[in-house]
Structure 1
Amino acid sequence: MDEHFQVNRQIWNSWTVQHEQSPFYDLAGFKAGKDRLRSIELEELGNVAGKSLLHLQCHFGLDTLAWARRGAIVTGVDFSERSITLARSLSQELNIPADFCCSDIDHLPDVLSGQFDIVFTSYGVLHWLHDLRRWGEVIAHYLKPGGIFYMVEDHPGMRIFTADVETEIRVANPYFFAEEPQRVESEGSYAAPDSGEQSIFYIWNHGLGDVVNALIGAGLCLEFLHEFPYAARAKFPSMYRGDDNWWRLTRQHGKIPFLFSLQARKPS
Structure 2
Amino acid sequence: MTGDTDTVTQANRRAWNASAHRHRQSEDWQRQRAGFADASFSTFDATVTEALIGNAVHGARAVQIGCNNGREVLSMLALGAAAATGIDQSDAFLAQAEELRAISPHGDKASFVCTDVYAMPEQLSGRFDLALITIGVLNWMPDLTRFLCAVSSLLAPGGRLLIYETHPVLDMFEPHGEEPHRPQYSYFRTDPFITEDEIVYDGSAAGKAPPSYWHFHTMGDIVTGCVRAGMQIAELTEQPHSNREVDYDIYVGNTAQLPLCYTLVATKS
TM-score (norm 1): 0.85
Find the aligned partners of 1:218 and 1:92 in 2 and give their Cα distance.
35
The residue number in structure 1 matching 2:216 is 205
Residue 236 to residue 264, structure 1, CA distance change in 2 (3 Å): same
Give, in whole Å, the separation in 2 of the partners of 1:84 and 1:4: 20
- Candidates 37, 40, 48, aligned match of 2:47: 40
Residue among 4, 17, 21 paired with 2:8: 4
1:81-121 deviations in Å (ceiling 9; x for gaps) = 11122212321232422111001211014463442100111
Give the superposition deviation at 1:213. Answer: 0.2
Corresponding residue number in structure 1 for 2:23: 19
SS in structure 1 at match of 2:18: helix
Q: How far apart are the structure 2 equivalents of 1:238 and 1:265?
A: 32
| Counterpart residue identity of residue 79, structure 2 | R
Q: Using the alignment, how far apart are the partners of 1:138 and 1:13 within structure 2?
A: 22
Q: CA distance change for structure 1 residues 133 and 70 in 2, over 3 Å: closer, same or farther? A: same
| Structure 2 gap ranges (5+) | none
Across the aligned residues of Structure 1 and Structure 2, the Cα RMSD in angstroms comes to 2.5
Shift of 1:165: 7.9
Partner residue in 2 for 1:184: 195
Residue aligning to 2:186:
174
CA contact (8 A) 2:128 2:155 kept: yes
Q: 2:137 aligns with which of 118, 125, 136?
A: 125
Give SS of 1:145's match. Answer: strand
Q: Secondary structure at the match of 2:27?
A: coil
* Paired residues, number: 256
Q: 1:184 to 1:144 in 2, by over 3 A?
A: same
Paired with 1:32 and 1:167, the residues of 2 have a C-alpha distance of 44
Match of 1:49 in 2: 58
Q: Counterpart of 2:220 in 1: which secondary structure? A: helix
Matched, 1:91 2:94: no
SS of equivalent residue, structure 1 residue 107: coil
5 Å matches for 1:61-76?
A: 61-72=70-81, 73-76=83-86
Q: Say which SS state the counterpart of residue 108 (structure 1) adopts.
A: coil
1-structure distance, mates of 2:199, 2:64: 25
Tell me, in whole angstroms, the C-alpha distance in 2 between the residues paired with 1:255 and 1:18.
33
* Cα distance in 2 between the residues matched to 1:76 and 1:253: 39
Q: CA deviation at 1:203?
A: 1.1
Counterparts in 2 of 1:30 and 1:56: CA distance versus 1, 3 Å = same
